[in-house]
């Protein structure tokens, strides 16, 4: 069974934030988002739009490949990563 890419990203957002010991409110403020948006993204009840990906990578200081770490290798190939 393959995991949906959006679920992988949600998990990695939670992990990256947690590793930095940031609260959801802090991450939201850094991104200029509502706290509810971060909560929903991490819970997997809201999907990211493409414009959010660079912002997340910038605030965490990571590449897109790191943000989708754990994705199906075919997804990496399809994205050229």
**Sequence spans of domains, the chain:** 5-76
Query: What is the distance between the alpha carbons of residues 13 and 7, in angstroms, rounded to a whole number?
Result: 10
pLDDT at 81 over 90: no
For residue 17, the model assigns a pLDDT of: 97
27 is written with which tokens?
């991450």
pLDDT bin (cut points 50, 70, 90) of residue 26 is very high
Q: What CATH class has 5-76?
A: mainly alpha
pTM recorded for the entire structure:
0.87
Task: Please state the rounded mean pLDDT for residues 33-51.
Answer: 92
Residue 45 predicted with pLDDT over 80: yes
Beta strands in 5-75 (DSSP E): none
Phi first, then psi: what are they for 12, rounded to 5°?
Answer: -70, -30
Q: Does the pLDDT value for residue 2 go beyond 70?
A: no
The sign of the torsion formed by the CA atoms of 80, 68, 25, 48 equals positive
């Amino acid at each position: 069974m393959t995991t949906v890419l959006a679920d992988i990203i949600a998990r990695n957002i939670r992990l990256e934030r947690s590793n930095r010991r940031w609260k959801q409110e802090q991450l939201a403020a850094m991104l200029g988002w509502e706290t509810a948006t971060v909560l929903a993204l991490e819970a997997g009840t809201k999907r990211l739009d493409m414009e959010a990906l660079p912002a997340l990578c910038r605030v965490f200081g990571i590449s897109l490949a790191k943000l989708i770490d754990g994705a199906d290798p075919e997804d990496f190939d399809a994205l050229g990563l």
